[in-house]
A and B are shown apart, each in its own frame.
Chain A
Amino acid sequence: MKTNAKNTQGRVRPVERGEFVPDGQAHWSLAGYLTHLANGCLSLVKGMGLTFGYFVHPGRIVTQQYPENRETLAMFPRFRGRLALVTDAASGAPLCTACGMCEKACPNGTISILARRDPANRKVLGRYLYRFSQCTLCNLCVESCAFGAIRMAQDFELAAYDRSDLQLVLYGKED
């Protein structure tokens, strides 16, 4: 909520502009010129010194060897990869009840759900179509699900050669 309380802490502070290049017209004396030259060269050496410090201390380098560390690379639990169905641990059946809330919540028309009737005439999930090419991975479908039946998977290498490879049937008969 917007508050009308005024912030009186802190102040307005002009920034420092350093010594290398004077503002306005420069009038160098020979001594001033030489000092400037020396300071300038020193600044380059100092910067180089910092990178050299990292060169001799490889332990401070944080580079990940990405394609090589594929086996050990794990995403965070909340990582939003592509959509996946959550299945019941015991029966292996999806928790989805085909209510269609995720379909409604999706901003891009990514999800299509086909319900069918089981022999007991209850509405159950028939087919769960997920068009990954349209998905913006916004997580709204997962939030809208009242049954915890969908989740964002941890996959991260999601490129495909063909657009049709991104039409995923998460449940039900493939075309």
Chain B
Amino acid sequence: MTEQQAGLADDILENGVAMTVPPGFSIDRRERHTDEYFLNMGPQHPSTHGVLRLMLRMDGENVLEVVPHLGYIHRGLEKIGENQTYLQNIHLTDRLDYLSSHMNNLALCLAIEKAMGIGVPERAEYIRVMVCELQRIQSHLLWWGVLGMDLGAITSFLYGFKEREMITDIFEEMCGARLTMNFFRPGGSFADVPDTFIPRVRAVIEKMKTAIDEYDTLLTNNVIMHLRTKGIGVLPAKTALAHGCSGPVLRGSGVALDVRRSDPYSIYHRFSFDIPVGTVGDCFDRYKVRMEEMRQSLRILEAAAASFPGGPYRSKKYASYNLPAGSYYSQVETARGLLGVYIEADGGPKPHRIKYRSPSFANLSALNDLAVGHKLADLVPIIATLDVLIPDIDR
């Protein structure tokens, strides 16, 4: 038996337990004199952003394998949804990805509208696009602040929340809630936007233009940020596609897939915006893609605010939304990626089966490929730039 074969056998059977060494493993087992050990990260770890539990197979400080353990915040929303009417289901979508609740609402509303052939007035379409883009900025601001905090910079957390609060106030005045909005309805929204909406949006646009430059000064052009994210967690485009990644994670790997462009819903086809893509696919590319997306969202907002029309905010209300039997699918681009809603309807007021294709779940599956071979400390920016949201993973 050659030395190499012995090493291989050692990898496969260790104490009678099959061990796998993932590709990308950079340390030769035969030369190190340490034992592997398992480390539990989470579910109550500040940098896992909620109740994400990771089991790590470690060699010293090097991560050999990452296995996410899910289900700590599983609420069975798809099953609950089978016992709720379509209208009641909208408020459940708030709780998928709570930072993109408007966009989640929209995904379900689009499916209902498609099934029942409900039209949407012009003003409602503008409200939808503007609200969704505001929320994209809001979500990215929270991500930006938390990313800084994960890397050890409390400052960015406070600065990100400063502008985020302006947007949250717009939402609060508009629909009364700050997180679980439940604002959109089939055919529009439950209320018209207040008169202060457009002035407030203009104020956000003005503020954000200088604020993003401040963020660049604080974090983007910070040498520590560069050293901690560049070359860390490289996700090749092919792997990203194989995992079903979407959103900024996929675009960071260089694939220009954006549902707003490839399958425009609402009135996104009328607005001009660039799709930022990464060139390397590392944490820094994912970071820059999100920063650039905020600027592009501001472009959409500016154009929409300039041509914001009057008129009704909702088409005809139905007493009960009974979808004709059949299956319906709709997808939107949330702040985290592609959210798909698949409804199997039986003609009644409640869905026979409702399925959410959530972006965070697919994005998380790439975590092992990203983290292998890196240090434990690098796992933190990797999780942060994947921007997974745990309720969106577990549903």
Contact = CB atoms under 8 A, between A and B. Distances in A.
Real binding pair: yes
Interface of A: 1-3, 5-7, 9-18, 20-21, 23, 39-41, 43-44, 46-47, 49-51, 62, 75-76, 78-80, 105, 107, 136-140, 143, 152
B187 to A, nearest CB: 10
Given A3-B269, A7-B260, A21-B230, A15 B274 contact: no
Interface string B261-283: 10111011111111111111000
B367 interface: no
A79 B169 CA distance: 11
Given A7-B264, A39-B223, A12 B114 contact: no
15 contacts: A1-B113, A3-B265, A5-B269, A7-B264, A7-B271, A10-B261, A10-B275, A12-B256, A15-B288, A18-B221, A39-B223, A43-B222, A46-B221, A107-B92, A139-B176
Contact of A2 (B271, B289, B330): B330
Contact of B280 (A1, A3, A17, A136): A17
B73 to A, nearest CB: 16
Contact of B176 (A2, A21, A78): A78
B265 A10 contact: no
Interface residues of B toward A: which range?
35 or more
A2 B118 CA distance: 11
B24 interface: no
A10 B261 CA distance: 9
A41 B155 CA distance: 18
B11 interface: no
Given A2-B110, A17-B279, A7 B269 contact: yes
A34 to B, nearest CB: 14
Contacts of B87: 105, 140
Given A40-B223, A76-B172, A80-B175, 13 more contacts: A2-B263, A6-B264, A10-B275, A15-B289, A15-B292, A17-B288, A44-B224, A50-B214, A62-B165, A75-B172, A105-B88, A136-B180, A140-B182
Nearest to B161: A62
Contact of B190 (A11, A41, A143): A143
Contact of B279 (A1, A14, A79, A139): A14
